[in-house]
């Protein structure tokens, strides 16, 4: 595992949550980001795709591959948890992990909880930067990760403002995307977050920008949105986000 810090110092932007492996042409996506100085935390949805993604990203120093097991795949892929302890030493990043309360099936929720607990336990091997899904499960994610040995980034957070401030008080980060900035509730939430805990993401290819899947370079538009929210110039918002990302790296 190489130290990302020197590379990060040279980046202009960061997409802390992107599913690079799910684009039809991942190399094109990574190349475009590299040319624009955009760093990518390439989250993965199951442990078995971590190593293939590392190979895909081999020539891209701007891409940091994360090991994860998406809550919506928890039940189907729970057996892959056995791979996770062996992958821990190969990356500083974990994701996509978390809980998704959209499911009403108790067996599926139980599987999600076991998977998340397993990642929390792995973190005892060494602290990681963890990009966390909490849709309709903000309360439970806050409780589950209360004492986790990790730097938590709440990805696409949609909980209440009191839950957001609770997470902020713990020093957790929030990765903001264009969908959050596209509605009043999301914008109000983003405006309420401490600026020094805000990061940027695309969640590509799952979020659309201009009618096509968002790519990492589109975090520039998210920075525009933050600049508008904070009433600062683009450059100041960009620098704030990069400083935050460097702090997140340093803390873990
Ligand atoms: Mn995602």
**Ligand 1 center to 170 CA (angstroms):** 23
pTM: 0.97
Cross-strand partners of 198: 174
Residues 97-120, mean pLDDT to the nearest whole number: 95
**Ligand 1 center to 206 CA (angstroms):** 7
**Ligand 1 center to 247 CA (angstroms):** 22
Q: What percent of the chain stands above pLDDT 90?
A: 93
pLDDT of residue 128: 97
Residue 81, number of CB atoms within 10 A of its CB: 19
107 pLDDT tier (thresholds 50, 70, 90): very high
pLDDT in tens, 200-234: 999 999 999 989 999 999 999 999 999 999 999 99
**Ligand 1 center to 203 CA (angstroms):** 5
1 pLDDT tier (thresholds 50, 70, 90): low
Q: Are 42 and 57 in contact (CB under 8 A)?
A: yes
Token pair of 165 as six digits: 């401030």
Exposure string of 40-66, with b = 16+ CB inside 10 Å and e = fewer, is: bbbbbbbbebbeebbebbeebbbbbbb
**Ligand 1 center to 131 CA (angstroms):** 9
> Helical H runs in the chain?
5-9, 26-35, 50-56, 74-77, 84-87, 106-122, 138-144, 161-169, 184-192, 219-230, 234-251
Q: Are 144 and 167 in contact (CB under 8 A)?
A: no
Q: What is the mean pLDDT of the chain?
A: 96
| Residues 51, 233: Cα–Cα separation, whole Å | 39
Residue 5, number of CB atoms within 10 A of its CB: 11
**pLDDT exceeds 90 at position 198:** yes
**Ligand 1 center to 205 CA (angstroms):** 9
**Ligand 1 center to 50 CA (angstroms):** 15
Secondary structure class of 213 (helix, strand, coil) = strand
| Residues 41, 94: Cα–Cα separation, whole Å | 9
Residues near ligand 1 ion, CB 5 Å cutoff: 96, 203
**pLDDT exceeds 80 at position 252:** no
What are the backbone dihedrals phi and psi of residue 11, each rounded to the nearest 5 degrees, phi first? -85, 155
pLDDT of residue 2: 67
**Ligand 1 center to 124 CA (angstroms):** 24
Residue 217, number of CB atoms within 10 A of its CB: 21
**pLDDT exceeds 90 at position 9:** no
Beta strands at 173-176 and 198-200: parallel, antiparallel or unpaired? parallel
């Amino acid at each position: 595992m190489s130290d990302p810090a020197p590379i990060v110092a040279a980046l202009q932007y960061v997409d802390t949550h992107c599913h690079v492996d799910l684009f039809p042409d991942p190399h094109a996506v990574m190349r475009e980001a590299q040319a624009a100085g955009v760093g990518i935390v390439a989250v993965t949805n199951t442990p078995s795709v971590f190593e293939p993604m590392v190979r895909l990203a081999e020539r891209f120093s701007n891409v940091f591959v994360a090991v994860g097991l998406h809550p919506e795949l928890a039940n189907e892929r729970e057996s892959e948890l056995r791979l996770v302890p062996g992958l821990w030493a190969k990356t500083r990043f974990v994701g996509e992990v978390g809980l998704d309360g959209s499911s009403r099936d108790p067996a599926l929720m139980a599987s999600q909880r076991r998977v998340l607990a397993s990642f929390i336990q792995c973190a005892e091997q060494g602290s990681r930067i963890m990009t966390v899904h909490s849709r309709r499960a903000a309360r439970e994610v806050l409780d589950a990760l209360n004492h986790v040995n990790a730097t938590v980034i709440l990805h696409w957070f949609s909980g209440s403002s009191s839950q957001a401030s609770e997470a902020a008080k713990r020093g957790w980060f929030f990765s903001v995307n264009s969908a959050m900035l596209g509605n009043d509730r999301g914008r109000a939430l983003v405006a309420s977050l401490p600026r020094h805990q805000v990061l940027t993401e695309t969640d590509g290819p799952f979020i659309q920008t201009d009618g096509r899947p968002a790519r990492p370079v589109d975090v520039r538009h998210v920075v525009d949105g933050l600049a508008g929210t904070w009433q600062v110039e683009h450059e100041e918002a960009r620098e704030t986000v990069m400083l935050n990302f460097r702090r997140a790296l340093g803390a873990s």
